[in-house]
Amino acid sequence: MRSGERAPKKGLHRAEHGFTLVAVLLAMFLLALATQQVMGVVSQQAQREREAELLRIGAEIVRAIGAYHEQSPGAVKDWPPSLEALTDDRRFVSLQRRLRRIYADPITRSHEWGIVPAPGGGIAGVYSQSERAPIRTAGTELTELGLGAAQRYSDWKFVYTPRVAGESAGVKP
C-alpha cells in the first residue's frame, strides 16, 4: 500500500448496516407470535383441568350431601346446615366425616361456593360462582352428573336428589 492511501474497510457496506437490525426485530416478532400461540394452548389446557376438577369435586360434594341426608338418625331426614357439617357431623356418638375438607372451587380458586337450598332448610347442592363460559358443553360425564349445556360455570348445579322408592339417588339436573 502506498502512503496516503487508505486501507479498504472490512465488514458491511453502508446499505447493509440496518439489515441485521431488521432481521433481529423480525426474529423477535416471530418468537413473540409463537409464544403467544403456545400460551393460548397452555391456558386452555389449564382451564380444561380446572373444569375436570370442578366436575370431580361437585360429584364428591353431592355424594357427601347424600350420605349426610340418607344416614340421618331417626325418621326425619336432615339436610346439612352448612358445608362444614359435611366435614364434622356430630349427630352421632362418634364423629362422622362425609368430606375430608371443604374443597376450593377450582374455577374461582375460592372456598366460597354458591349454595342450592334444600326444601325445609339446609343445603341440597352447590355450584361455582364463576361467570366464565365452560369448555365442555356436552358429553357423557356431564350427562352422568345430570348437568346439561351451560352458558357459564354457575349454571352447573351439583344437587343431591333423595331416593324415591324404586329409584336411585343422584345428581339433579
What is the structure's pLDDT at 130? 92
Q: Quick check: helix, strand or coil at residue 110?
A: strand
The three three-digit cell numbers of residue 13, written as one number:
457496506
Which strands make up the sheet holding 170-172, listed edge to edge? 114-117, 123-127, 157-161, 170-172
Write the pLDDT tens digit of every residue in 81-107. 999 999 988 888 888 888 999 999 999
Residue 28 pLDDT exceeds 80 = yes
Residue 151 has pLDDT above 90, yes or no: no
| Of 34-38, 45-49, 82-86, minimum mean pLDDT range | 34-38
Compute the distance between CA of residue 163 and CA of residue 76 in angstroms, rounded to an integer: 14
pLDDT at position 61 is: 94
Record the cell numbers describing residue 144, joined without a space. Answer: 352422568
Instruction: Check whether 68 has a pLDDT greater than 80.
Output: yes
On whether the CB atoms of residues 146 and 172 are closer than 8 A, the answer is yes
Whether the pLDDT of residue 1 is over 60: the answer is no
The predicted pLDDT at position 173 comes to 45
| Residue 16 DSSP class | G
The overall pTM is greater than 0.75: no
* Phi, psi dihedrals of residue 73, rounded to the nearest 5°: -70, 145
Encode pLDDT of 119-136 as tens digits.
988 999 999 999 998 887
